[in-house]
Amino acid sequence: MSSAELREHAPAAPIWDAKTPADPTFLKLKGVTKSYGGGFLAVDDLDINLPKGKLLGLLGPSGCGKTTTLRMIAGLQDITSGTISIEGDDISQRPPYRRDIGLVFQNYALFPHMTVAENVAFGLDMRGVSKSEARGRVEEALEMVRLPGYGARKPKEMSGGQQQRVALARALVIRPRILLLDEPLSNLDAKLRDDMRVEIREIQQRLEITTVFVTHDQVEALTMCDLVGVMHGGKLAQLGTPEDIYERPANLFVAEFVGRANVLGCEIEAVDRVRIGSSTYPCDTKGASSGKATAALRPHRIQLSPSRDRSLVSIATNSTHGKVVRVTYIGDVVQYDIDIGGSVLTTEVHTSSAGHSFRTGEKLLCEWKPEDMQIFKGGR
């Protein structure tokens, strides 16, 4: 049967059917630890529960342990202690080739001596799937990644984005229990990255395949994932929905790593206000009533207006006067750096065709809502 015929006969046949209700702990990592000689803990007592069909993004700077975590789930690295289980089935000690896990590598890792079809069929061959069934499933998988009819090509005859899609088809055609993606987009150029982001998410949701995605790019983590685990120093700094992570960062590391934030040293005066410099600002200190703290404030959550009398300003907002010290035109936004007496606030304003409104040296009033200022215990 030719590939064209196959396409006609099975236009949108799902290669997946997983309409089972979400299991809250489909993938479970319990106390997972990786230590190297000399007591260095690459991953330190990690607990993660991932429901079925969800996409978890592990986000963090290099060396935070996210890739090590992924490789331990895959079985390519031993775990020092703890357990990893899928649907209650402990796979911690199982060799990687018997885990039924799909893995897409950053550098695609296609077999250069095989055609695209042979690459995709490799996992089926390992599972003893008959040649004729394999041919159909390979073509289905290639269609799913929008590369129908590319089977006869060699990987090196394809672009980076196409190779990445072949790698995805190769990982998915074996119907793995979970899918792991190791920085799959970082070798692609910006435009292609945006397209692939949407495409991978779309396929993941259609197949409802439980997926762990490692990235250092916060945009990828926030836009693609159901859950984001921010990792820092081998530990989970925060695990939550993208909105949780961005709006309610659990600690200063998350606040600074995800999105941008002005970070200001402050003194807690009471549970509902802090002092920065000589001014006092209402805010939620999360129960703390004294001591040194750090305030984080997103640049675009600060409203700017020409300077006026502070007594006219709503008491529902925080405000301060400042002087523009730098104007940076970025395209979508203009960034104003504003000296508020001792420290500099970075602010962002969306641009419009009318041009940008403020100039260097201009005196402005900066206002923000108390809930937009996050307070973290401890100084910097």
Site residues, another protein (CB under 8 A): 74, 76, 95-103, 105-107, 109-113, 122-123, 126-127, 154-156, 167, 170-171, 174
Q: Which is nearer to another protein, 110 or 239 (CB)?
A: 110
HEC per residue, 38-51: HHEEEEEEEEEEEC
Q: Give least dist CB 303 to another protein, A.
A: 49
Of the pair 118, 139, the CB lying nearest another protein is at 118
Backbone angles phi, psi at 321, to 5 degrees: -95, 150
CA distance 283 to 373: 7
Nearer to another protein, 51 or 160 (CB): 160
* CA–CA dist 56, 343 (Å, integer): 37
Neighbours of 12 (CB within 10 A): 8
Find the shortest distance in angstroms from Cβ 187 to another protein. Answer: 12
Nearer to another protein, 33 or 106 (CB): 106
Closest separation between CB of residue 40 and another protein, Å? 15
Q: Which DSSP letter does residue 310 get?
A: G
Residue 104 or 254 having the CB closest to another protein: 104
Q: CB of 183: closest distance to another protein in angstroms?
A: 12
* Closest CB to another protein among residues 200, 258: 200
d(CA 69, CA 1): 43
Classify strands 273-276 and 344-350 as parallel, antiparallel or unpaired.
Answer: unpaired
**Minimum gap (Å) between residue 174 Cβ and another protein:** 6
Minimal distance, residue 96 CB to another protein, in Å: 5
Strand partners of residue 203:
none
CA pair distance 44, 51, nearest whole angstrom: 22
